[in-house]
């Protein structure tokens, strides 16, 4: 007699209106073990993803984000899936047995293809071929182009990433390199990340790079770059250690064990942040410190974005506003314009632009609008002016410690700062700068 119990399906969305077709419900991924075998010359990938997850509801079927890749095999807890299907950037898995709430389970996905970016409202994002190598532009929905995942920042997980490719290339990924071995003209590089990472911050860079280790303590710092950029890179990133020390004093200890910078031999429109690393184009290394602002911005994301990650994309000002404000702090530290001078100058520039954007919920198409960055930074400056430097930076250090490797929201930011400082101006400042379209006066 057939069962009368209705099947239990996990949602095919994280419920974020900014990325409504990304993320999935019914479970949380806890660890990704990725084994990638990649041919740079032909852009061919054969891979296995082993995902450890925990069910948050009763499940007979659930989905993973997977775009442009062909799935050959899926098992759940070692048993072949009853059914798999692929459509609309989703891998839908019907399990052989029901998963109960709270149950830990393991999904193995064997897949292949020619990974490529997906088109989105923010341009093409994901696995991207360079002239001679690869980079990953993961924000906000690019992770699914190279591994099946729960592609939303609300679900952070640990990682082990193994990449095998031609031995003439260097591979850089998240976390420390734990092993490297060569065989038959191909080299395998394996990295491990023990801190929770949002999917968009998982990354792989492949290229013909030289490596320079800048320092081992308090944070290991390395730069990967093409041989023909040696002198420019040495100049432009020569202050990286000083920058890390300065931001650690202002924001609290650097949140990870290392920081790596990759400079590609291609030009990039903007640098890219990832967990424990950042990627710049050759156009960002001019040998004259012309990209100090961008270097500061990407480094600051290690605190704001990578350690403290938004639960929903509408709160992205908490990442970009802080990174923008870090630019102003660094310029002040180097004897240039003060943060206050930059704040007033940018406020005047914003006054020339339409005042029709609410930074705290800018909408998906405007989530990367420059007004989100600048008004976010201005909100922080307004709070700093109201509190004074000692109280403001003390609260910042406490904030990054309290939410270290976790998630943040605008409401949580307001509550924490108000309670830590005893000030009533925090909510008012956020309402004026973040939750209203009208541009306040500094």
pLDDT digits (tens, 9 = 90+) for 118-171: 999 999 999 999 999 999 999 999 999 999 999 999 999 999 999 999 999 999
209-302 CATH choice from 3.90.190.20, 3.40.630.10, 3.30.2010.30, 1.20.1250.20:
3.30.2010.30
- The whole-angstrom separation of Cα 147 and Cα 143 is 6
Q: What is the end-to-end Cα distance of the chain in Å, rounded?
A: 72
pLDDT digits (tens, 9 = 90+) for 228-249: 999 999 999 999 999 999 999 9
Quickly count: other Cβ atoms within 10 Å of residue 282's Cβ: 18
- The whole-angstrom separation of Cα 137 and Cα 282 is 16
Give this prediction's pTM.
0.96
Largest CA distance in the chain: 80
Task: Report, as an integer, the average pLDDT of 164-185.
Answer: 97
Confidence label for 5 from pLDDT (cuts 50, 70 and 90): low
What is the DSSP-derived secondary structure letter of residue 377? H
Domain ranges of the chain: 1-118+139-198, 209-302, 309-433
pLDDT digits (tens, 9 = 90+) for 304-354: 999 999 999 999 999 999 999 999 999 999 999 999 999 999 999 999 999
The residue written with tokens 């870090």 in the block is 326
pLDDT over 50 at 1, yes or no: no
309-433 CATH choice from 1.20.120.80, 3.30.460.80, 1.10.357.10, 1.10.390.10:
1.10.390.10
Helix (H, G, I), strand (E, B) or coil at 394: helix
Class of domain 1-118+139-198: mainly beta
Residue 45 backbone phi and psi in degrees, to 5:
-120, 130
């Amino acid at each position: 007699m057939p069962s009368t119990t209705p099947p239990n399906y996990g949602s095919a969305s994280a419920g974020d209106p900014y990325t409504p077709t990304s993320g999935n419900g019914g479970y949380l991924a806890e660890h990704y073990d990725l084994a990638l075998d990649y041919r740079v010359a032909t852009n061919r990938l054969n891979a296995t993803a082993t995902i450890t997850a925990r069910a948050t509801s009763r499940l007979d079927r659930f989905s993973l984000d997977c775009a442009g890749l062909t799935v050959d095999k899926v098992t759940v807890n070692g048993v072949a899936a009853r059914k798999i299907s692929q459509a609309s950037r989703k891998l839908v898995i019907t399990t052989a047995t029901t998963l109960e709430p709270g149950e830990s389970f393991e999904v193995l996905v064997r897949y292949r293809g020619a990974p490529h970016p997906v088109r989105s409202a923010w341009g093409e994002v994901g696995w991207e071929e360079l002239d001679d190598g690869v980079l990953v532009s993961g924000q906000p929905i690019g992770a699914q182009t190279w591994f099946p995942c729960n592609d939303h920042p609300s679900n952070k997980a640990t990682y082990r990433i193994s990449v095998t490719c031609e031995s003439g290339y260097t591979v850089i990924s998240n976390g420390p390199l734990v092993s490297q071995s060569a065989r038959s003209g191909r080299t395998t590089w394996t990295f491990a990340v023990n801190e929770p990472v949002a999917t968009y911050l998982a990354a792989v860079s492949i290229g013909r790079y030289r490596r320079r280790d800048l320092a081992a303590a308090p944070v290991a710092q390395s730069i990967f770059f093409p041989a023909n950029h040696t002198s420019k890179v040495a100049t432009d990133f020569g202050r990286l250690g000083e920058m890390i020390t300065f931001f650690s004093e202002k924001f609290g200890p650097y949140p990870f064990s290392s920081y790596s910078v990759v400079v590609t031999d291609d030009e990039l429109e903007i640098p890219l942040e990832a967990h424990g690393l950042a990627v710049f184009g050759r156009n960002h290394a001019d040998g004259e410190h012309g990209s100090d602002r961008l270097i500061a911005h990407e480094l600051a994301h290690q605190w704001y974005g990578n350690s403290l990650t938004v639960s929903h994309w509408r709160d992205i000002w908490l990442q970009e506003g802080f990174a923008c404000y870090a630019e102003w702090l660094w310029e002040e530290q180097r004897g240039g314009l003060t943060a206050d001078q930059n704040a007033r100058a940018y406020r005047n520039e914003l006054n020339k632009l339409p005042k029709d954007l609410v930074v705290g919920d800018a909408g998906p198409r405007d989530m990367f609008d420059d007004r989100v960055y600048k008004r976010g930074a201005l909100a922080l400056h307004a709070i700093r002016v109201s509190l004074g430097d000692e109280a403001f930076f003390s609260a910042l250090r406490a904030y990054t410690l309290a939410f270290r490797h976790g998630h943040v929201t605008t409401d949580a930011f307001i509550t924490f700062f108000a309670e830590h400082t005893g000030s009533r101006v925090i909510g008012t400042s956020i309402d004026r700068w973040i939750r209203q379209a009208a541009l306040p006066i500094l």
